[in-house]
């Protein structure tokens, strides 16, 4: 059995000094690939450095919508981005390292944390998708309170494969994203949130992926999450789809394999 975590933040400071153990735990649960996502200039550099530690770790470099604007969400445990990101400079850096990365993300739009720069967020998002098209890398999308707007932009711009991470859109938007052929990555928080259970019941198994968003999105309240927990999500998907854990794991691995091929 091969499991995958397509989205997590192992460069978060809670994992300092614990990465070796986190990798051991993941391997014990048959996790064969962990995509570590960057969110800004500094974290992208940290991610590239971190993934050298083990073949299991893969880099996904990103530009988080709030970081692109130089706005801080408060202390997150990830490197701060106090100024606007110079997108062209960051694109140059990512392109130079494109053979070392499997995806672009996380990227997207977030109208929850920022109420005043929606047009600028959209412009940035378009530019980043166009860049991903140019270097032929799949994209991993964060969206909060901007699910419809994100799908509009993706539909117009994206020529690469799309994964919506921890998608909180309503049924109508889930249906639209299914029809667009997008993947949905589901976190272990599915144990607590009806939203993700509903999503899994709607989305064909061929469009599901697993993630942890570690250290966030834990299956239990107030606990830190880690990539080994993708097994929790696989078990829950098996229950909802009424299939075996092996059947779910095999198909999700196939989905991952086709997601990362341009
Ligand atoms: Zn994330």
For ligand 1, the distance from its centroid to the CA atom of residue 96, given in whole angstroms, is: 23
For ligand 1, the distance from its centroid to the CA atom of residue 140, given in whole angstroms, is: 9
Q: What integer best gives the mean pLDDT of the chain?
A: 96
For ligand 1, the distance from its centroid to the CA atom of residue 213, given in whole angstroms, is: 5
Q: Is the pLDDT of residue 240 over 80?
A: yes
Instruction: Of 235, 261, 258, give the one whose Cα is nearest residue 247.
Output: 235
Q: What is the dihedral of CA 148, 85, 69, 52, to 10 degrees?
A: 60
d(CA 44, CA 60): 8
Q: Is the pLDDT of residue 73 over 80?
A: no
pLDDT tens, position by position, 146-191:
999 999 999 999 999 999 999 999 999 999 999 999 999 999 999 9
CA distances from 257 to 249, 250, 261 (A): 12, 11, 7
For ligand 1, the distance from its centroid to the CA atom of residue 138, given in whole angstroms, is: 16
For ligand 1, the distance from its centroid to the CA atom of residue 88, given in whole angstroms, is: 22
The HSE-up count of residue 162 (CA atoms within 13 Å, CB side) is 26
pLDDT of residue 209: 98
pLDDT of residue 223: 84
SS3 146: coil
Judged on CB neighbours under 10 Å (0-12, 13-18, 19+), 51 is buried
Q: What totals of helices (H) and strands (E) does the chain contain, helices first?
A: 10, 8
pLDDT of residue 72: 77
Q: Is the pLDDT of residue 221 over 90?
A: no
Percentage of residues in the chain with pLDDT exceeding 90?
94
d(CA 226, CA 213): 8
For ligand 1, the distance from its centroid to the CA atom of residue 9, given in whole angstroms, is: 6
For ligand 1, the distance from its centroid to the CA atom of residue 187, given in whole angstroms, is: 10
Residue 86 per-residue DSSP state: -
- The larger pLDDT score, comparing residue 75 to residue 244, is at 244
For ligand 1, the distance from its centroid to the CA atom of residue 232, given in whole angstroms, is: 18
Q: Is the pLDDT of residue 88 over 90?
A: yes
Q: Is the pLDDT of residue 226 over 80?
A: yes
d(CA 77, CA 82): 14
For ligand 1, the distance from its centroid to the CA atom of residue 37, given in whole angstroms, is: 7
Question: pTM value?
Answer: 0.97
DSSP 24-36: HHHHHTTEEEEEE
Grade residue 222 by pLDDT with cuts at 50, 70 and 90: confident
For ligand 1, the distance from its centroid to the CA atom of residue 156, given in whole angstroms, is: 24
């Amino acid at each position: 059995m091969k499991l995958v975590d397509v989205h997590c933040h192992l460069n978060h400071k809670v994992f300092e000094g614990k990465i070796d153990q986190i990798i051991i735990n993941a391997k014990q649960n048959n996790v064969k690939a962990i995509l570590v996502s960057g969110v800004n200039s500094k974290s992208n550099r940290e991610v590239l450095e971190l993934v050298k530690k083990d073949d299991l770790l893969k880099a996904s470099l990103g530009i988080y919508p709030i970081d692109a604007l130089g706005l801080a969400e408060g202390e997150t445990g990830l490197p701060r981005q106090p100024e606007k990101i110079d997108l062209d400079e960051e694109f140059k850096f990512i392109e130079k390292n494109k053979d070392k990365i499997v995806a672009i993300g996380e990227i997207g739009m977030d109208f929850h944390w920022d109420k005043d720069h929606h047009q600028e967020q959209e412009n940035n998002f378009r530019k980043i998708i166009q860049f991903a098209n140019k270097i032929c890398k799949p994209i991993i999308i964060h969206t909060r309170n901007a699910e419809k707007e994100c799908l509009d932009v993706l539909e117009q711009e994206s020529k690469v494969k799309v994964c919506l991470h921890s998608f909180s859109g309503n049924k109508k938007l889930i249906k639209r994203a299914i029809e667009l052929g997008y993947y949905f990555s589901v976190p272990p928080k599915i144990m607590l949130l009806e939203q993700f259970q509903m999503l899994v019941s709607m989305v064909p198994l061929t469009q599901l992926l697993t993630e942890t968003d570690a250290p966030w999105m834990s299956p239990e309240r107030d606990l830190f999450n880690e990539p080994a927990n993708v097994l929790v999500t696989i078990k829950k998907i098996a229950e909802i789809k009424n299939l075996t854990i092996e059947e779910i794991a095999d198909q999700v691995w196939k989905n991952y394999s086709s997601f990362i091929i341009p």
